[in-house]
Amino acid sequence: MGKTNKDWHGDHPMPKNPTEEQRLAWHLDHAAHCGCRGIPGTILALMEERGIAVPELQQPELR
Ligand SMILES: [Zn+2]
């Protein structure tokens, strides 16, 4: 599975100057498919603000 994450990132670059919507969508997608990095606090705050459930990350090193 090691190459899956790399492939996902290759296919899903973060847009330049992303809007809040784009960052939210990217991090939701990222958490679902990769999760190599945690969701930043600013994004978590946005999710809370909008009532979006925070996804579980695939982050074995933080468990
Ligand atoms: Zn990743």
CA of 51 to the centre of ligand 1 (A): 24
Token pair 């999760």: residue: 35
How many angstroms separate the CA atoms of 4 and 14, rounded? 17
CA of 49 to the centre of ligand 1 (A): 24
Q: What is the mean pLDDT of residues 36-40?
A: 89
pLDDT of 39 above 80: yes
State residue 59's pLDDT score: 53
pLDDT of 48 above 80: yes
Domain limits, the chain: 20-55
State residue 22's pLDDT score: 96
State residue 54's pLDDT score: 86
State residue 63's pLDDT score: 45
CA of 37 to the centre of ligand 1 (A): 6
> Residue 56: left if φ>0, alpha if ψ -120 to 50, beta else—which one?
beta
